[in-house]
Chains A and B, each alone.
Chain A
Amino acid sequence: MRELLGTWVAALLTLMVFSYLVSDNPLYRLAEHLFVGSALGYSIVVAIQDVLLPRLFTPLARDPVGYWHLLIPLLLGLLLLAKGRASIAWLGNISVGFLFGVGAALAIGGALVGSLLYQVRDTMLPLLPGEGDGGSAIDNLILVVGTLGSLAYFYFTAGGERETNGLRGGVLRVGSVVGKWFIMVTLGALFANAVMARVSLLVGRLQFLLGDWLGIL
């Protein structure tokens, strides 16, 4: 019975969302608000059940002396609540600073070590074909030209008559044109992939309506 009810609710909500194709209407709005509300409510419950209770409140309640160090995150969390009142909002800056500091340190360090170094290294490729490896050389050439062209396109600091008219200016101009085309192809690929992803969602929803709800399949 519960499963049947769930299927009907899901099917009706799907149809309500599809009704946006006709025009923006109250049914669509209702489905939209239900989705946002339920997602938020669910996230809060998960945060309490999976984070706050098992990793903060339960250990503190069981053994406050043994887990005294958990008082620090508890205090930082409580200070964040001060952000809700203008007169004492400055108290929350300590927690925000801590969050931003740790987050930025991890993100920048990770980006350097995990992305930038690997990607720069991977762009240093042989452009001459090896034995029986002509395809790979063309692949490498496209990658190198595309990378350099895209960098030239975003080189905004070239200025002055000497730079724009000289050899350097000419190279930058040609490079930026090549880069622009590479960027356009990349954006096209991104858009095509986004469309493909949305079509997959459409197929999934229609399969659900025809199979699970109407029982045609």
Chain B
Amino acid sequence: MVSSNEGLQGWEQEEVLEGVEEDPEWLRELGAPADEVRGAAEEEVPDEETTPGLEGLEGLVEEPREKEGLLAGITGVLRVESIFAISHRIGEVAFSPPAGADQVARFEGVLSQPLAPVAAKEQPRARMTGVISWLSYLILAAAVVGGILLAGGSIDLPLTQATADFYRTIESLEEGSVALLSHDYDPGTAAEITPQVSAILDHLMQRGVKIVNLSLTPEGQALADRALESVVSDHEGYIRGRDYVNLGYVAGNEVGARFIAESLGPRLSPYPLGERVGGLEDVDLIVVLAGSQEHLRRWVEQVQAPYKVAMVAGVSAQVDPAARPYYRSGQLKGLLSGLVGAAEYERVNQHPGVALSRMLPQAAAHLVIALFILLGNFAYLVDRLRGRG
């Protein structure tokens, strides 16, 4: 056994060395002299040769070789005695650095040396990337600010079919009809949807439609109130409670949407508008204003499909791909998508507002981003061709 018992107390050393003096009993029964067994084992173990390329690391992986017993001549044996013999009370044991610690430190030193040539090459590249990022931000900001400052000159905006259908659906509502607006968005998407809400409310009030507002998101009710305040001021004669109400936040997601479908009448009963609306069957159109696709899906799945109510939606641009199939299948009679949808609506309703004023900076930003994408792809292509060359 290995005799490196430094750090062990006297009685522990005695215990560890006990039994090493004599060969084990089973070996003596075999009849082979212990010396022969030892000699054979030593012959089988070849001398260590240095692996080509690792000459500098000689000695780093050197491990103590067993000198006695069955394992004589073998390296890398786990020295259990040093594990069991160490007291669990760490404070009482004076640890000495394990064998080879200085070699490990040397190896770590080699690894931690900076790769000078690579670093010298990478540094300007990283700096260049930082400069390009900053230039990109500045150019994008300049394009947007320039667009805002030149907001007087609007751009020609084609009317999409989905927006035209939305407009026609509201245009077909008669005076005194009832529309239910669900404001399911938050401040994160308000920049896109608030202009839609203003344009839709304006059109509904032009048509003399009674409006029931609610929200499946806590923030939606406050945003709805703000939009109502700003639009109602342009429509004299629209009275809260009689012509429009805000029922506020309805909790429960899917359950909330179904709950409204089942119990709209009782919710409206405290208001004068409640005399006109006994339930969902008295609602002529549901307008979902959704900042996420989950909100839109809730209304379509829980209310539109089972109750067959006419429904249109105004959504954030990122929800558009998810909303488009519902429009195509006819479940949505019309669809407004993002700020562009709001601008189209303002134009078709001949009531220019904030959305139209934002179209020029939006278009400028899109142009800049498209240019960046082309430049980036061109740079990538050049880089790749150089690499191949």
Contact = CB atoms under 8 A, between A and B. Distances in A.
A110 B305 CA distance: 8
A50 B248 contact: yes
A43 interface: yes
A181 interface: no
Interface in B322-365: 325-326, 328-329, 331, 338-340, 357-358, 361-362, 365
Nearest to B191: A204
Contacts of B321: 186, 189-190, 193
Contacts of B366: 196, 199
A202 B255 CA distance: 35
B365 A199 contact: yes
Nearest to B306: A113
Contact of A203 (B137, B300, B326, B365): B365
A195 interface: yes
Nearest to A51: B251
A200 B300 contact: no
Interface stretch (B48-56, B144-152, B237-245, B380-388): B144-152
Given A114-B304, A200-B362, A195 B369 contact: yes
A203 B254 contact: no
A54 B317 CA distance: 36
A118 B329 contact: yes
B75 interface: no
B38 interface: no
A134 B187 CA distance: 44
B361 A119 contact: no
A201 interface: yes
Given A110-B302, A210-B148, A200 B191 contact: yes
A112 to B, nearest CB: 9
Interface stretch (A100-108, A148-156, A162-170): A100-108
A75 interface: no
A190 B317 CA distance: 9
Contacts of A206: 141, 144-145, 148, 361
Classify the interface of chain B: helix, strand, loop or mixed.
helix
Interface string A26-65: 0000000000000100110011001100000000000000
Contacts of B328: 122
The CB with the most chain A CB atoms within 10 A, among B140, B222, B321, B357, is that of B321
A32 to B, nearest CB: 13
B219 interface: yes
Contacts of A205: 191
Interface residues of B, number: 52
B221 interface: yes
A190 B325 contact: no
A106 B302 contact: yes
Contacts of A5: none
A196 B302 CA distance: 29
A201 B253 CA distance: 26
B30 to A, nearest CB: 54
B320 A113 contact: no
B258 A106 contact: yes
B301 interface: yes
B189 interface: yes
Given A118-B305, A118-B331, A197 B316 contact: yes
A203 B191 contact: yes
Contacts of A118: 305, 326, 329, 331
B60 to A, nearest CB: 40
A202 B339 CA distance: 12
A51 B216 CA distance: 12
Nearest to B355: A200
Contact of A217 (B148, B218, B316, B326): B148
Interface in B274-306: 297-298, 300-302, 304-306
A106 B254 contact: yes
A199 B331 CA distance: 29
A33 B234 CA distance: 38
B249 interface: yes
B192 interface: yes
A203 to B, nearest CB: 5
5 smallest CB-CB distances across A and B, nearest first, come from A114-B301, A110-B301, A204-B191, A114-B305, A122-B329
Interface of A: 21, 39, 42-43, 46-47, 50-51, 102-103, 106-107, 110-111, 113-115, 118-119, 121-122, 186, 189-190, 193-197, 199-207, 210, 216-217
Given A103-B255, A122-B325, 8 more contacts: A21-B137, A46-B218, A46-B221, A114-B304, A193-B317, A199-B369, A203-B339, A217-B151
27 contacts: A42-B218, A42-B222, A43-B219, A50-B248, A50-B251, A51-B249, A106-B302, A107-B254, A110-B254, A110-B305, A111-B301, A118-B329, A119-B329, A122-B328, A194-B317, A196-B362, A197-B189, A199-B366, A203-B144, A203-B147, A203-B358, A203-B361, A203-B362, A205-B191, A207-B361, A217-B148, A217-B149
